[in-house]
Amino acid sequence: MKFIDILQTASSSLFRSKARTFLTVIAVFIGAMTITLTNGIGTGIKSYLNKQIGNLGAPNVLIVQLTTKNASPTSGPAKYTYNPNASLSASGFGDRQLLMNLNDLTIIKSIPNVTSVVPAHSIAADYIVGTGDKYQLALAQQFGPSTAYMVAGYGVDNNSSQQQISIPESYVGPLGYSNNQAVIGKIVTIGITSAEGIQSTVTATVTGVQQKNLIGETAAYGNNALVDLLNNIQNTGIPKATANTFQTAYASFPSSLTTAQVNSLKNQLTAKGFTGKTIKDEESTIFTVIDTIIIIFDMFGVIALLAASFGIVNTLLMSVQDRTKEIGLMKALGMSPRKIFALFSIEAVMIGFWGSVLGVGFAALIGSAINAIGRHGFLKDFPGLSLLTFPLTTVFTVIIAIMLIAFLAGTLPALRASRKDPIEALRYE
Amino acid sequence: MNQPIMITAKHVTKIYGKGEAALAALDDIDLAIKPGESVAVIGKSGSGKSTLMHVLALLDKPTEGSVLVGDNDASSMSGRQLDLLRNKSYGFVFQQFFLNANDTVLNNVILPLKIAGVGRKERNARGIKALKAVELDDKTYSWAADLSGGQKQRVCIARALINDPSVIFADEPTGNLDSHTGKIVEDLLFRLNKELGITLIIVTHDEDIAARCSRQIHIKDGTLVKRGEI
């Protein structure tokens, strides 16, 4: 029998017992839909977070801190040894972070492949003003090249000597501009108070308007020129030793470095008492959590598919029983056991195929409906988030995997069919 | 038309079961069927006549002895070769028809060609030709379920005929038919035997059909008996 005839025969015998086939396909359908939806959510959230984390900084920057032996609940605090250069800060969670000084920056800079080291300043600006009233300003430091998504203009340039700032979309109105485009290239004024209590102002050029995002949503970004200037002003009057301490430094490296080279760079930092993490490292921590959650959800789909595969076994066993005579006749007329096996296996695979295609298709339909509703409703505050994303590779993997599962489920009935004795089968009433 | 095939049974014994429960359905049967013969295998139910047909048709293997197809011992042939032989050279007509009721007459008739892997166009043409031979070409696209018993058996004959077989095995071909339609089917089978020279092996307990055959083989308790011994 030709393959096309086997396909056609299998499909017509599936169609003959419509109710039975339909119910089995439904079982596969539910499994396929569940897996596609959970994976769709996983992919959607991950690609969104990828963009969001991208907003925080370039991939070729290491976030460097001094390695701290944190007090664990059982061992208590680490022993104090006198070190005039070390100072300690405590965060709200009880973690303590050693503060770096300029000497540390020199050490980091001396490590091969580190192209530049910039201390992370925390700027406490008083206000920002455009053409109207003064508004409070949260200013973050841009490290590395800008990777934030801009709805207008460009990100700030750290190589520029001009003071630059990029602002969130929500700042445009308060600064007195009618639309995102209008504010680009305009000069804004930032007020800042020194340690001595003297308020002064600094101007900056607006280079871009950032898309609203989940992380660092309300912060404006300043380039090094702006942040250094503001930092100098706010540190005026503070003793030099204290002024030049910071929790974090950003070390840039050439983006051409391989993963192995980056790892060796991190190891050298570790050897010198620092901890270096790239944005990717931070990201992978989050992704591990997401992946775990998705896998747990996937288990529901897998359980549904497991149930469905027993449905396939049952359906086909019934089919083999019903068609005992037909099988006997085909064998008597010279159909080989292998072809009989193929015939029933393909019926199983077809059930898998229809179930998975319909399931995946329906999931995609639900997904785009949810995305469309979400964009105007519950996800309004997360522009750029497609809650469900269905890459073609995932879709095909799900379909192929389910067809494979269906094939495996079909082997038992197909084997039973292929082993039927034609005489017994023909005698069967 | 296929090559004429001589079928020879040598000391064929078929035993079902083991030990004390063992039952010899066939006991040391020697038989030769020449090409173009029409042979009736006659016996009561349980006499072993169906088993003999199954063994001769290579659907079943004898426990002892051998079946020769021409000069070849069937026991030395592979499963694939046996399948091919049955598909290409043998035709089957069964008492219970074994038609697929949910399919068209044509699709039922062309099943052997479909199994052989013949293309759609050719097999449909040959199917229509076979249906013409049994005078059912007006039912080509009817559902098999809609036919009368006699028509169904003629469809079966068309199916047996489609491969241009050398031998047709008919197991009680008129067993489920009334005497009038039975006669039509009977006439058809003997016409094929006469006109096309197809060897006919008919298992029956109908004395009328048996009488029309060129040779009668009586079987009782698994052994052949001479006519006078019954």
DSSP secondary structure of chain B: -PPP--EEEEEEEEEESSGGG-EEEEEEEEEEE-TT-EEEEE--TTSSHHHHHHHHTTSS--SEEEEEETTEEGGGS-HHHHHHHHHHHEEEEETT----TTSBHHHHHTHHHHHHT--HHHHHHHHHHHHHHTT-GGGTTSBGGGS-HHHHHHHHHHHHHTT--SEEEEESTTTTS-HHHHHHHHHHHHHHHHHH--EEEEEE--HHHHHHSSEEEEEETTEEE-GGG-
Dump pLDDT digits (tens) for A336-349: 999 999 999 999 99
Contacts of A253 (CB under 8 A, 6+ apart): A60, A61, A62, A113, A114, A115, A262, A265
Q: Which of B80, B88, B92 sits opposite A336 (nearest CB)?
A: B80
Contact across the interface for A423 and B87, Cβ inside 8 Å = no
Contact across the interface for A334 and B87, Cβ inside 8 Å = yes
**In terms of DSSP bridges, do strands B7-16 and B167-171 run parallel, antiparallel, or are they unpaired?**
unpaired
The answer to whether B23 faces chain A, any CB pair under 8 Å, is no
Dump pLDDT digits (tens) for A363-410: 989 988 888 887 777 766 666 667 777 888 888 999 999 999 999 999
Q: Are residues A240 and A143 in the same domain?
A: yes
Residue A219 to residues A134, A139, A210, A212, Cα–Cα distance (Å): 16, 5, 10, 10
Residue A33: HSE in the Cβ half-sphere, 13 Å Cα cutoff: 17
The answer to whether A2 faces chain B, any CB pair under 8 Å, is yes
Is pLDDT at B23 greater than 60 in this prediction?
A: yes
Into how many domains does chain A fold? 2
Q: Which of B59, B84, B116 sits opposite A332 (nearest CB)?
A: B59
**Domain ranges, ordered by start, for chain B:** 37-59+77-229
How far is A11 from A319, CA to CA, in rounded Å? Answer: 13
Q: Which of B84, B96, B98 sits opposite A334 (nearest CB)?
A: B84
How far is A198 from A203, CA to CA, in rounded Å? Answer: 17
What is the pLDDT at residue A176? 87
Place B160 in a pLDDT band, splitting at 50, 70 and 90: very high
How far is A224 from A137, CA to CA, in rounded Å? Answer: 17
Is pLDDT at A327 greater than 60 in this prediction?
A: yes
Contact across the interface for A423 and B92, Cβ inside 8 Å = no
Place A179 in a pLDDT band, splitting at 50, 70 and 90: confident
Contacts of A12 in chain B (CB under 8 A): 103
Contact across the interface for B92 and A332, Cβ inside 8 Å = yes
Contact across the interface for B92 and A333, Cβ inside 8 Å = yes
The interface residues of chain B toward chain A in range 161-200, judged by CB-CB distance below 8 A, are none
What is the pLDDT at residue A240? 72
Ordered alpha helix ranges (H), A131-275: 180-183, 224-235, 240-243, 259-271
- Domain containing A186 equals 121-245
Is pLDDT at B79 greater than 70 in this prediction?
A: yes
What is the pLDDT at residue A380? 67
Dump pLDDT digits (tens) for B107-159: 999 999 999 999 999 999 999 999 998 889 899 999 999 999 889 999 999 99
Contact across the interface for B83 and A326, Cβ inside 8 Å = no
Is pLDDT at A45 greater than 90 in this prediction?
A: no
Shortest Cα distance, chain B CAs vs residue A381, angstroms:
59
The answer to whether B79 faces chain A, any CB pair under 8 Å, is yes
User: ipTM strictly over 0.95?
Assistant: no
Q: Which of A319, A333, A423, A427 to mutate to test the interface with B (most CBs of B within 10 A)?
A: A333
Shortest Cα distance, chain B CAs vs residue A366, angstroms:
38
Contact across the interface for B98 and A329, Cβ inside 8 Å = yes
Place A76 in a pLDDT band, splitting at 50, 70 and 90: low
The answer to whether B2 faces chain A, any CB pair under 8 Å, is no
To the nearest whole percent, how much of chain A has pLDDT over 90?
A: 23
- The most confident of the ranges A82-91, A284-293, B208-217 is B208-217
The answer as to whether A41 is a domain residue is yes
The answer to whether A337 faces chain B, any CB pair under 8 Å, is yes
Contact across the interface for A334 and B94, Cβ inside 8 Å = no
Contact across the interface for B86 and A332, Cβ inside 8 Å = yes
Is pLDDT at A235 greater than 80 in this prediction?
A: yes
Mean pLDDT to the nearest integer, A117-137: 85
What is the pLDDT at residue A213? 64
Q: Are residues A294 and A240 in the same domain?
A: no
The answer to whether B121 faces chain A, any CB pair under 8 Å, is no
Q: What global pTM score does this model have?
A: 0.72
Residue of chain A minimizing CA distance to B60: A423
Is pLDDT at B168 greater than 80 in this prediction?
A: yes
- Which residues does residue B29 pair with via DSSP β-bridges, in sequence order? B12
Range with the poorest average pLDDT among A96-100, A175-179, B63-67, B195-199: A96-100
Contacts of A426 in chain B (CB under 8 A): 94, 98
Residue of chain B minimizing CA distance to A15: B102
The answer as to whether A94 is a domain residue is no
Q: Are residues A297 and A416 in the same domain?
A: yes
Contacts of A16 in chain B (CB under 8 A): 102
Is there a contact between A23 and A356 (Cβ–Cβ < 8 Å)? no
Contact across the interface for B117 and A330, Cβ inside 8 Å = no
Place A63 in a pLDDT band, splitting at 50, 70 and 90: confident
The answer to whether B49 faces chain A, any CB pair under 8 Å, is no
Place B194 in a pLDDT band, splitting at 50, 70 and 90: very high
Shortest Cα distance, chain B CAs vs residue A336, angstroms:
6
Q: Are residues A404 and A294 in the same domain?
A: yes
Residue of chain B minimizing CA distance to A323: B100
Q: Are residues A421 and A300 in the same domain?
A: yes
Topology of the domain comprising B37-59+77-229? Rossmann fold (3.40.50)
What is the pLDDT at residue A353? 96
Q: Are residues A237 and A294 in the same domain?
A: no
Mean pLDDT, rounded, of chain B:
90
Say if residue B18 is exposed, middle or buried (CB neighbours under 10 Å; 0-12, 13-18, 19+): exposed
Q: Are residues A291 and A240 in the same domain?
A: no
Q: Which of B49, B92, B99, B100 to mutate to test the interface with A (most CBs of A within 10 A)?
A: B100
What is the pLDDT at residue A53? 67
Q: Are residues A322 and A396 in the same domain?
A: yes
Which amino acid, one-letter code, is at B127?
Answer: G
The answer as to whether A112 is a domain residue is no
Is there a contact between A323 and A13 (Cβ–Cβ < 8 Å)? yes
Is pLDDT at A15 greater than 80 in this prediction?
A: yes
**In terms of DSSP bridges, do strands A220-222 and A61-66 run parallel, antiparallel, or are they unpaired?**
unpaired
